Structure 1
Amino acid sequence: MIKDISNLQVKLQTLIAGQQGFYSQGKVADYIPALAEVSAKKMGVCVTTIDGKTAGAGDYQEPFSIQSISKVFGLVMAMNRIGDDLWQRVNMEPSGQPFNSIIQLEWEKGIPRNPVINAGALLVADVLTSHFSASKLAFLSFMRKLAHDDTVFIDNHVYQSELAHGNRNAALAYLMKSFGNIQAEIPELLSHYFTQCSVAMSCEQLATSLLFLANKGVDPLTNTVICTPRDAHRVNAILSTSGMYDQSGQFAFSIGLPAKSGVGGGVIAIVPNYGVICTWSPPLNSFGNSVIGTNLVASLAEELGLSIYH
């Protein structure tokens, strides 16, 4: 690992320069029209360490739609609120199916495979809407607290686009409700879910906001307990097995870090006892993960020896 942050800054700039030719290997998400409006040539990377140092390159300070990365924060909020009762309603196994699959959910009687596929995240959103009187505000406040930045915002343009094109998520929610695994009214639930997916943050803000997962549940910048060490371990375990969708096994095999992607092009990776990597590049591969973002995390993990399996 690089201890000198200035050396890391140079390395990140070199890595960014080396990825310029990979834009064409992916495709910007277009099933949410607002996401398709983002330039494919945006690219940023940031590393934030638990001792409060930050290095970044490219567009690392530009906000983007965090999308499914929001599932990590929703999961922590739900675990804090209802504890182990959560695991009576959602499993912790890899899916092996597309992140928005309906078939598996019906076969398994409305119990999502894990909390970071869409069905599982909708279940988590149900917990939040059922246990917070103003769940959307509570979520945004949580994000701002973790990022130490009140400029974190909800992108209403993305939210409206999600709302108009969220039929599959609605189908997942109604299917779970038919099995008795959803308590909230579906429109309220979907509004919360689309709101959290529409939070806009930069690589720097996201990396800072996830430091607690690299530090046994404690925000190292303030020594505030965000979750228990056991829950931090559990979240990292789920990210290791399921955070990169159907590419999770390959990611663990070749890179070896707990990670989560979003179709906005973001990828976060937790390096326990060291810090957090966050990358952003909108073109996605066939698994729905950022092509360049995954490349950047892979390069850093290999060159710095970051794999948790070393």
Structure 2
Amino acid sequence: MEPIARIVADIAAEMRGIAERGTVAFYIPPLASVPADKFGIAVVMADGTVHAAGDADEAFSIQSISKVFALTLALGAVGDQLWNRVGREPSGSAFNSIVQLETEHGIPRNPFINAGAIVVCDVLLGRLQPREAIGQMLRFVRELAGDDDTIHIDETVARAEQETGFRNMALANYMRAFGNIHGDVELVLGTYFHFCALAMSCRQLAMAGRFLMGDGRVEGHRVVTARRARRINALMMSCGHYDNSGDFAYRIGLPGKSGVGGGILSVAPGIASIAVWSPGLNEAGNSHLGQLALEQLVHRTGWSVFEPRG
């Protein structure tokens, strides 16, 4: 196989030359102002080496990628009891769809669509106050990334989401009507919006994903059990890209989670943790160039989980 450093550099150069870059998330004002010409990629190998290119050290709003970390915290808090309130199936619908909640009695299909992530926040608030839950999330991600200083919650983004998140408000209130939101809806949503407003770089995000690449461990420290890491990866594979998840698995063949800020966290189990960022989105709300870059990476490395080994 070619050296990873060369592959990463080549991919960044190729992405810079692509004219079609998708559309930025215009419905959240701070995200709408991010230049569409940004592209970053970072790959953290199992041996700890990091290969990065492009805008890999520029912070961006990770948005729904935070759902991976929120899910990890909720499973740590209540274990498999979580699945009484959230499903584990692909939605087949847009990330903010309300349609299935009526027929499925207020139980979201999975923790990576907006409704499911709102329930996850409600679960965390069953034991913590909002300020405590937000602080716990920030400390957790900083610890995973090995960065105590620059990873932060962008209050401008959080405020903008609170001012424009009417559909999320509808989802939360609808689930409350079914008894699947237990706490104060406004507090639950405020926590959810702050989670989505986490800002970090590709390098930091790839570092934070190492525990999913490393069977639940980071540098000898166990974050989750190996079984839980595998199950989170399975959910990322089947549900991490909303109604585009099947196509992502078909084209790339890695567990991954996207966000409308243009980031994607992807995992090659036992091999690498990968983060890409380009703010232009495709019609499903996933980074257009990010997916192309990951497809190129898998093509040149053979890292797909469906690739024969040995």
TM interval, shorter chain, is over 0.9
Deviations 1:48-75 (A, max 9, x none): 0121100000000111000000000000
- The residue type paired with residue 44 of structure 1 is G
- In structure 2, the partner of 1:155 is 154
- In structure 1, the partner of 2:303 is 306
Task: Name the SS for the 2:125 alignment partner.
Answer: helix
- In structure 2, the partner of 1:289 is 286
Counterpart Cα distance in 1 of 2:276 and 2:19: 14
- In structure 2, the partner of 1:139 is 137
- In structure 1, the partner of 2:90 is 94
- Select 1:115's aligned residue among 92, 111, 124: 111
- In structure 2, the partner of 1:42 is 38
Counterpart Cα distance in 1 of 2:174 and 2:222: 36
Counterpart Cα distance in 2 of 1:23 and 1:172: 36
Task: Name the SS for the 1:46 alignment partner.
Answer: strand
- In structure 2, the partner of 1:177 is 176
Are the counterparts in 2 of residues 22 and 291 from structure 1 also a CA contact under 8 Å? no
Task: Name the SS for the 1:276 alignment partner.
Answer: strand
Q: Percent identity?
A: 47
**1:24 Cα deviation from its structure 2 partner:** 3.0
Are the counterparts in 1 of residues 254 and 266 from structure 2 also a CA contact under 8 Å? yes
Are the counterparts in 2 of residues 132 and 138 from structure 1 also a CA contact under 8 Å? no
**1:20 Cα deviation from its structure 2 partner:** 2.2
Unaligned stretches of 5+ in structure 1?
Answer: none
**1:23 Cα deviation from its structure 2 partner:** 4.6
CA RMSD of aligned residues (A): 1.1
- The residue type paired with residue 170 of structure 1 is M
- The residue type paired with residue 155 of structure 1 is D
Counterpart Cα distance in 1 of 2:294 and 2:67: 20
Task: Name the SS for the 1:24 alignment partner.
Answer: coil
Are the counterparts in 1 of residues 213 and 268 from structure 2 also a CA contact under 8 Å? yes
Counterpart Cα distance in 2 of 1:160 and 1:11: 39
Unaligned stretches of 5+ in structure 2?
Answer: none
- Select 1:233's aligned residue among 208, 213, 230: 230
Counterpart Cα distance in 2 of 1:208 and 1:161: 28
Deviations 1:186-235 (A, max 9, x none): 1110110000100100000000001000111111x2x1111111111111
- Select 1:250's aligned residue among 242, 247, 250: 247
TM-score, length of structure 1 as denominator length: 0.96
Are the counterparts in 1 of residues 21 and 37 from structure 2 also a CA contact under 8 Å? no
Counterpart Cα distance in 2 of 1:140 and 1:308: 30
Task: Name the SS for the 2:119 alignment partner.
Answer: helix
Residue 207 (1) aligns with residue 206 (2): yes
- In structure 2, the partner of 1:52 is 48
Counterpart Cα distance in 2 of 1:57 and 1:285: 22
Deviations 1:259-302 (A, max 9, x none): 11100000111000011111000000001010100001010011
TM-score, length of structure 2 as denominator length: 0.96
